């Protein structure tokens, strides 16, 4: 077992986090959050999504957010793009990188993107071609890799098939979404054993929602299998509008605290990150869901 020496954290707060907040959030608040995160040393920030605004009104102003960014050197500002229309909007707004998102569950795919798995993969093909022509890298997400709110258990083989298809069409990396956070160290291990027989660890990322409090344990299993890209959301912001009761991604502060303790480099300044999480939690009038951040804030008096 060789642990990675450094890990890339992909920050989900401004997208996965804020897409699920009921309060209206101004573009200025979003831009402040994104800049706080970049200032703390985060190098990949999912800053918005170009989806149907009737489905996710919280992301309707993503073009304004991208246009208002104070770009810091070395930071990639990325966006979700479910179809060609979304991709054109993202390119127009200046996204550095985009992502398509599918699911390992047929029912979740229909709820989330209004089509089944096979059709979704067909829809992604023109998105890939257009992004490649524009020289923009595409990430792929798979939701429900460790369980689905409608179908229950999901077979690792179903995840493998979608992952293979996304990589074959040109995604540089596949992020494995435990959308409802039901995965455990055991099921994560079984999933990764199936995937890693076929796919190198460098092409996989883990995207754990922390609904059942299992995310750090599952991430540790991922690290032990060589996975070095982890999605997380500052202050644990978020949830999923198509998965009732789902909470946000694992808090970025908690992941950084764990990685610091393991001697794994992230390039992130934890106290600046804690400051970013405290500021957005206050702006939203929301409890900070990061255990490490709350402990550090309390000990700082
Ligand atoms: P649809 O309704 O099937 O699309 O949506 P359509 O092609 O039939 O178009 C219907 C209307 O939507 C038209 O407008 C289009 O112009 C408009 P109308 O004629 O009715 O006025 N439209 C768009 N407008 C702006 N941007 C677009 C766009 N596309 C269509 N890109 C679609 C299909 C996929 C677009 C829709 O289902 C959708 O937006 N879904 C996104 C849902 C979403 O954002 N979910 C949350 C993000 S995924 C997630 O959180 C999971 C993840 O974190 C991993 C994990 O945790 O598992 C990534
Ligand atoms: Mg998510």
Q: Is the CB of 52 under 6 A from ligand 1?
A: yes
Q: What's the CA gap between 252 and 264, in Å, rounded?
A: 14
Domain ranges (residues) in the chain? 8-300
Helical residues (DSSP H) of the chain, grouped into ranges? 27-39, 62-68, 84-93, 106-113, 117-133, 156-168, 185-196, 215-224, 252-261, 270-284, 291-299
**pLDDT at residue 243, rounded to an integer:** 61
Q: Are 138 and 170 in contact (CB under 8 A)?
A: yes
Structure tokens at 266: 């992230």
Q: Which of left, alpha, beta for 217 (phi over 0: left; psi -120 to 50: alpha)?
A: alpha
Q: Is the CB of 77 under 6 A from ligand 1?
A: no
Clarify whether 208 is annotated catalytic.
no
For the segment 251-283, what is each residue's pLDDT rounded down to a tens digit?
999 999 999 999 999 999 999 999 999 999 999
Mind listing the pLDDT tens digit of every residue in the chain (301 residues)? 689 999 999 999 999 999 988 878 999 999 999 999 999 999 999 999 999 999 999 999 999 999 999 999 999 999 999 999 999 999 999 999 999 999 999 999 999 999 999 999 999 999 999 999 999 999 999 999 999 999 999 999 999 999 999 999 999 999 999 999 999 999 999 999 999 999 999 999 999 999 999 999 999 999 999 999 999 999 999 865 566 667 899 999 999 999 999 999 999 999 999 999 999 999 998 899 999 999 999 998 7
Closest listed residue to residue 253, CA positions, set 283, 284, 293? 293
**pLDDT at residue 301, rounded to an integer:** 72
CATH architecture of 8-300: Alpha-Beta Barrel (3.20)
Closest listed residue to residue 82, CA positions, set 105, 58, 51, 41? 51
* pTM higher than 0.95: yes
- The pick from 11, 14, 50, 52 for probing ligand 1's pocket by mutation, whose C-beta has the most ligand atoms within 8 angstroms, reads 52
**pLDDT at residue 239, rounded to an integer:** 62
Tell me how far the alpha carbon of residue 26 lies from the centroid of ligand 1, in angstroms. Answer: 22
Strand partners, 233: 251
**pLDDT at residue 147, rounded to an integer:** 97
Q: Is the CB of 110 under 6 A from ligand 1?
A: no
Q: What's the CA gap between 104 and 148, in Å, rounded?
A: 9
């Amino acid at each position: 077992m060789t642990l990675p020496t450094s890990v890339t954290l992909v920050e989900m707060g401004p997208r996965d986090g804020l897409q699920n907040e009921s309060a209206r959030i101004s573009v200025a608040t979003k831009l402040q959050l994104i800049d706080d995160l970049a200032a703390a040393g985060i190098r990949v920030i999912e800053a918005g999504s170009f989806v149907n605004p009737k489905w996710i009104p919280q992301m309707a102003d993503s073009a304004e957010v991208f246009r208002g960014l104070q770009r810091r050197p070395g930071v990639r500002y990325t966006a979700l793009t479910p179809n060609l229309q979304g991709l054109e909007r993202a390119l127009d707004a200046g996204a550095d990188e985009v992502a398509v998102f599918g699911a390992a569950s047929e029912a979740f795919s229909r709820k989330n993107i209004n089509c089944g798995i096979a059709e979704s993969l067909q829809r992604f093909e023109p998105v890939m071609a257009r992004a490649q022509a524009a020289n923009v890298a595409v990430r792929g997400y798979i939701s429900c890799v460790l369980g689905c709110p409608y179908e229950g258990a999901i077979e690792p083989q179903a995840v493998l098939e979608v992952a293979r298809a996304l990589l074959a069409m040109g995604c540089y990396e596949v992020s494995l979404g435990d959308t409802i956070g039901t995965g455990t160290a055991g099921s994560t291990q079984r999933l990764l054993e199936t995937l890693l027989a076929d796919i190198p660890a460098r092409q996989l990322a883990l995207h754990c929602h922390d609904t059942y409090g299992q995310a750090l344990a599952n991430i540790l299993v991922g690290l032990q299998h060589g996975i070095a890209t982890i999605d997380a959301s500052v202050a644990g912001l978020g949830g999923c509008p198509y998965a009732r009761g789902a909470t946000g991604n694992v808090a970025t502060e908690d992941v950084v605290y764990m990685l610091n303790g393991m001697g794994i480099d992230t390039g992130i300044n934890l106290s600046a990150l804690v400051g970013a999480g405290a500021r957005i939690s206050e702006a939203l009038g929301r409890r900070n869901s990061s255990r490490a951040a709350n402990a550090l804030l309390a000990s700082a008096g």
